[in-house]
Amino acid sequence: MGRLATAAAGAVLAAACLAQASGCGTWRRPGEERTRLALELADALRQEALALPDEGPRERLVTGLGQLRDVLIGPVEAKPLESGDAGPVLPEPEGGLGPVPPWATMLAPKNLVIGFFTRSKDFDGRGGDDGIEVRLQPIDQFGDPTKAVGSYRIELFAYHHKTLARRGRRLGHWFVAVLDAESNRKYYDPIDRSYVFPLLWEEPLAPGLMVIVQATYYPPGGFEEKLLAQRVIKIGAE
C-alpha cells in the first residue's frame, strides 16, 4: 500500500477515534486518555502524510489532521489587530546582575522559523478569510524545536517581487505574550511542535495577494537577543 493510501486509511481511523473520544462510540476509557491516544495517532499520521511525494494530497491530509487536532483540543480564540506601534510589555530581568549560568540558556531559542502551514484563514465561518493563522517554531542550539517563553510580534507586509525593496506597506501587526504556563498551553501545538497564533485583520485582503509574514521574538529576561523570521505566503491559498 502506498503512502497516500496508508495516510488516507489512517485519517479514517483517526476520525473513528475522534468519534469515540467525543462519546459517539462504545469506548469507555477516561476522557483524558482517549484524547491523548487520539492526539498520538494524529501525530503519527501527520508524519506519514508529510512524507507523501504529491504536494496537493500531502497538504490536504496534513491540514485535515491539524483540523482534527483543533476539534480534540479546542480552537484558540483569534486575536484582533493591534493599534499603534508600541512594543510588548516585558517583565524586568530577575536574579541581579550576575552572569547567566550556561544551563539556564542551554535550550533557549537560537533561531525562529515561520511554519510551512502558516496561512490566511476563515475564522468566523462566513466565507472569505478574515485573518491569518501564524505558526512559529523556536529552534534551540541543537537544531531542535523548543518552547520559548517571551513575547512575539507578528507583522504583515505587502510583497513587491518586482522591486529591490520587497517589503511594501504594512497591512497589520499584532503582539502576543507567552509568559506563563496558561498561555503556553493555549498557543502551543504539541503535534506541530510550534506556537499557533490565530490573528484577525480589520480589512479583508484580496485572495491571491502575496504578503510577507514577519515575526519577532522578544525574550523575557534579557538572556538572548531578539530573533527575526520572514516568510512569503499567498492570501487564500489552500
- Over range 21-34, report the average pLDDT: 53
| pLDDT at 57 > cutoff 70 | no
Are residue 220 and residue 109 in the same domain, yes or no? yes
Instruction: Give dist(CA 113, CA 136) in Å, integer.
Output: 6
**CATH number reported for the structural domain that contains residue 227 in this entry:** 2.60.40.10
Q: What's the mean pLDDT when you consider all of the chain?
A: 77
* 167-178 and 111-114 beta bridge pairing: unpaired
Are residue 69 and residue 108 in the same domain, yes or no? no
| pLDDT at 51 > cutoff 90 | no
204 belongs to a structural domain: yes
Number of domains forming the structure of the chain:
2
Owning domain of residue 50: 3-73
- Over range 195-219, report the average pLDDT: 93
222 belongs to a structural domain: yes
Cα 170 to the center of its chain, rounded Å: 21
pLDDT at residue number 24: 47
pLDDT category of residue 21 using cuts at 50, 70 and 90: very low
**Domain final residue pick, 54, 73, 92:** 73
Are residue 51 and residue 156 in the same domain, yes or no? no
- Name the range with the highest mean pLDDT among 27-36, 58-67, 151-160, 224-233: 151-160
pLDDT category of residue 165 using cuts at 50, 70 and 90: confident
pLDDT at residue number 225: 75
pLDDT at residue number 103: 76
134 CB burial (10 A radius; 0-12, 13-18, 19+) = buried
90 belongs to a structural domain: no
What's the number of CA atoms in the CB half-sphere (13 Å) around residue 93? 12
Are residue 15 and residue 114 in the same domain, yes or no? no
Are residue 9 and residue 69 in the same domain, yes or no? yes
- Over range 59-72, report the average pLDDT: 64
86 belongs to a structural domain: no
| pLDDT at 97 > cutoff 80 | no
| pLDDT at 132 > cutoff 80 | yes
Higher pLDDT among residues 87 and 210, named by residue: 210
The percentage of the chain sitting over the pLDDT mark of 70, rounded to a whole number, equals 58
pLDDT category of residue 29 using cuts at 50, 70 and 90: low
83 belongs to a structural domain: no
Are residue 23 and residue 124 in the same domain, yes or no? no
DSSP classification of residue 84: S
Q: What are phi and psi of 78, to 5 degrees?
A: -70, 145
Are residue 220 and residue 106 in the same domain, yes or no? yes
Higher pLDDT among residues 124 and 61, named by residue: 124
pLDDT at residue number 120: 94
Instruction: Give dist(CA 45, CA 84) in Å, integer.
Output: 42
Instruction: Give dist(CA 191, CA 170) in Å, integer.
Output: 31
128 belongs to a structural domain: yes
Sheet of 167-178, strand order: 167-178, 150-159, 210-218, 227-234
Give the type of residue at 152.
Answer: Y
Are residue 111 and residue 173 in the same domain, yes or no? yes
97 belongs to a structural domain: no
Cα 45 to the center of its chain, rounded Å: 18
Are residue 116 and residue 19 in the same domain, yes or no? no
Are 197 and 187 within 8 A, CB to CB?
yes
**Domain final residue pick, 73, 91, 126:** 73
182 CB burial (10 A radius; 0-12, 13-18, 19+) = exposed
164 belongs to a structural domain: yes
Are 178 and 152 within 8 A, CB to CB?
yes
Are 158 and 209 within 8 A, CB to CB?
yes
Are residue 217 and residue 120 in the same domain, yes or no? yes
Are residue 146 and residue 39 in the same domain, yes or no? no
Are residue 67 and residue 116 in the same domain, yes or no? no
pTM: 0.62
The percentage of the chain sitting over the pLDDT mark of 90, rounded to a whole number, equals 41
Tell which residue, 230, 196, 212, has the closest CA to residue 113: 230
pLDDT at residue number 30: 55
Sign of CA dihedral 161, 166, 171, 177: positive
Instruction: Write the CB contacts of 230 (distance below 8 Å, at least 6 apart in sequence).
Output: 114, 212, 213, 214, 215
- Over range 97-119, report the average pLDDT: 83
pLDDT category of residue 26 using cuts at 50, 70 and 90: very low
pLDDT at residue number 202: 84
Instruction: Write the CB contacts of 93 (distance below 8 Å, at least 6 apart in sequence).
Output: 221, 222
